[in-house]
Structure 1
Amino acid sequence: MRKHALVLLAAALLAAACSPKPSLQNDPWLELPPAAETPVAASDTLVYDLLAEEPPPPPEENAVIAEPDLPVLDDLPIASAAPPPADATPAHPEAAATSAEPAAAATPPPVETLSPEPSAPLFYVQIFASTSRQSAEEHALEADARLEQPVRILWLDAFYKVLVGGYTNRNEAVALRRALAEQGYKDAWIFER
């Protein structure tokens, strides 16, 4: 009796596995709803800070593959010799007086470069974090419409973080966090960058 039941079960599984499957391409339940309009922020732009590599966007169907690297034409002249030092004495003083004027006009003055000073840390108030960029954008747009402080989205450690403010003084950020907690952002906290 057991063998007979196993044979029937195996036959039923084989028949189910070999039967043609219905196509899911025309299934009305799998159609996507029409896309809603994206709200526009009061500031018209959101600031994105990327401290880590953002995940690549999904490939588009109409994307054009970039051309391979093309050669770069360099039109800049190459200096053949360095100018003589300023304290060098010429062999002929009369010739040096006439040749010093054209030489001064031909060499451009040295460019002074300033090394960037280390910036002080900035304090923000984080009001939201998500792995979904769309969710972070929605919260950022809502906060941008409600608040007067600048709102930005930061991609860090696989999360999109919605930050408000940008103060050099921590006490100002603490005051903003308290004000945001009263406005409904109870889980807001200070983010130092």
Structure 2
Amino acid sequence: MSKQKISYLGPSMNPTLKVPDQLIVIPYRSQTEIKVGDVIVFKLSTKETNIVHRVIAISGQGIKTRGDNNNLADEPPLKFEEIIGQVFFAHRDSKQRRIWGGKVGQSYCHLIRAYRLVIKLLKTLGRSPYHLLAKTKLLGKIIPLQTWTKVVVFKNSKKLLWGKRLIGQLRNTGAKWQIYPPYHLFIDEKRIPC
């Protein structure tokens, strides 16, 4: 049972693994040692480089894997002969950390996926209220920022200033004002004096 040191490449296992992590890989003695949640290194005859992914299912058809950063499982399922071994440790910036497999690894992977889902949901929800506020100009009615702005002509464009801060501009006559975030929450472009 000799361990190998392998360099990690690619984004498919982020954030668990990142380039240029050095991985300590220990071969399995038998197929029965492989557990769902293990991070494994395998080599396909169709690829030149090793692949590092997590085991997500084991069946009579083979071993299914997927990168922690991937949405889809790898196809086709692996055969035991294609597996180089299990990743036990990763070295990054002179620090060694344990790469957990089995139930702990599986739980970690579920946490990563849940975290990503929450972030995606927050970004989606966060965008909607922001754009809704920008359209209604409701904040501009509460905080009349527009009353403290002035238009300055500079060369071929007009600049909208709030104090000394540039908050928008009109590049061509007849074009639309471009108001920079977050100021477009307060400024109604139709009410800017030309």
Q: Which of the five TM-score ranges fits, normalised by the shorter chain? A: under 0.3
Larger Cα Rg: Structure 1 or Structure 2?
Answer: 1
**Which is strand-richer, 1 or 2?**
2
Relative contact order higher in (CA < 8 Å, ≥ 6 apart): 1
Give the TM-score of the pair, scaled to structure 2: 0.24
